[in-house]
Amino acid sequence: MAATASDFARRADSWNAGSFDFNQYMVDRAKLVNKALDEAVPQKYPDTLYESMRYSLLAGGKRVRPALCLAACELIGGDVQAALPAACAMEMIHTMSLIHDDLPSMDNDDFRRGRPTNHKVYGEDIAILSGDALLTYAFEHIARATKGVSAERVLRVIMELGRATGAEGLVAGQVVDIQSEDKEVGLDVLKYIHLHKTAALLEASVVCGAIVGGADEATIEKLRKYSRNIGLAFQVVDDILDVTQTTEQLGKTAAKDLAVNKTTYPKLLGLEKSREVAEQLINEAIQQLDGFDKVKAAPLVALAKYIGYRQN
C-alpha cells in the first residue's frame, strides 16, 4: 500500500518520540564536532586558504556524517573521543566534495547552506585548492589525531575512507552524474550515482566509526548494510525535497534537478513511489540494528528515521 504524504509527515514525528531526545542529541553532537573541526583547522598563513577552508567547513551543516561515525563507535562500546578525528575527516571530505561540485565547470551553484558558495567568495582557484587541502587533511588528521586505537585499525579507516572518496566512490558518482545530465538514464545508473555520490561516504562514516570502536567483521557488515540503505535513502529524499521544497527551506537552490533536466527518483518513479522506496530502505536499515542494545542503538535508529523523513 502506498504511503501518503500525511502518513509520511506523521511518521516524521516518530523519530523524536520516546525517551531518546534526538534533537538535543544532534545539537550536542554538532557542538562537539564543530569544536573539533575548529581546532583541527585553525586560521593560519596563507590567510585566504585557511579562511576559505574554514568558510565552508564551519558553515554549520547538520553534521550527519560525523554523527553517524560517532554513533557507530558508541554502539560497539567504543570511546567517542577516539572516533572524533575520523568523524571530522568525514565532514572534511563532504565539504571538499561540496566545494568542488559547486564549481562553475561542474554543477555551477551560487548558493550552499544558505550562503554564497566558496568560489563565489574566494574565486575558483582558491576554491579548488581549499578543497584539495581539506581532502588531504582528512587522511592526515585520521593518521595524526586518532588516539587509543591500534595503528592497524587506523590504516583500515584510511583505506575505507579512501575507497569511499576516490575513483571507486564519490568522485566516480560525480563523474557519472555529470555525464548523465541532459540524458535519459535508467534506474540502474541513477542508483549507481546515488550509491557512489552519497551513500559511499555515509557508509564510510558508519563503518569507520565501527572499526575505531573495535567491531568484528560480522558487525561491520551489518552496519555496512545499514549505512548503504540510509545512504541510498538520503539521496532519494534529496531528490524528493528538490521538487517539493523552496530554496529558502533547503538553504540551496531548489528545483535545480528539474532546471538541469536531471534524472531523479521522482522523475522515474513519481513522488509517492519514491517516498515508498525511501521508507523501505529506512525500514531495512533499522532491521540491521535488531540484535543490538536498544539504548545504544537509539541514535542510529533515530538518524535513519531522520534521513528518511527530514524536510531539508
- The residues binding a copy of itself (CB under 8 A) are 41, 44-46, 48-50, 53, 96, 100, 103, 105-106, 123-126, 128-133, 135-137, 139-141, 143-144, 150-152, 154-156, 158-159, 161-163, 165-168, 171-172, 174-176, 178-179
What distance in Å separates the CA atoms of residue 306 and residue 169, rounded to the nearest whole number?
24
In the complex, the smallest distance separating the C-beta of residue 12 from a copy of itself, rounded to whole angstroms, is 35
Give the cell for residue 136: 588531504
Q: Give residue 291's Cα distance to chain centre.
A: 25
In the complex, the smallest distance separating the C-beta of residue 224 from a copy of itself, rounded to whole angstroms, is 18
In the complex, the smallest distance separating the C-beta of residue 119 from a copy of itself, rounded to whole angstroms, is 8
Helices (H) and strands (E) in the chain, counts: 17, 2
In the complex, the smallest distance separating the C-beta of residue 87 from a copy of itself, rounded to whole angstroms, is 18
Tell me if the bond preceding 46 is cis, omega within 30° of 0: yes
Nearest-5° Cα angle at 144, 43 to 153: 140
DSSP for 28-96, written as a single string: HHHHHHHHHHHHHS---SSHHHHHHHHHHHTS----HHHHHHHHHHHHTT--HHHHHHHHHHHHHHHHH
Our CB check for a copy of itself shows the closer of 21 and 132 to be 132
Our CB check for a copy of itself shows the closer of 99 and 304 to be 99
b/e map 248-262, b = 16+ CB within 10 Å: eebbbbbebbeeeeb
Our CB check for a copy of itself shows the closer of 151 and 218 to be 151
Our CB check for a copy of itself shows the closer of 121 and 243 to be 121
Our CB check for a copy of itself shows the closer of 100 and 222 to be 100
Our CB check for a copy of itself shows the closer of 27 and 106 to be 106
CB 198 within 8 A of CB 238: yes
In the complex, the smallest distance separating the C-beta of residue 135 from a copy of itself, rounded to whole angstroms, is 6
In the complex, the smallest distance separating the C-beta of residue 164 from a copy of itself, rounded to whole angstroms, is 9
Our CB check for a copy of itself shows the closer of 30 and 189 to be 189
Residue 187 neighbours by CB distance under 10 Å:
12
What distance in Å separates the CA atoms of residue 34 and residue 58, rounded to the nearest whole number?
7
In the complex, the smallest distance separating the C-beta of residue 74 from a copy of itself, rounded to whole angstroms, is 24
CB 43 within 8 A of CB 109: no
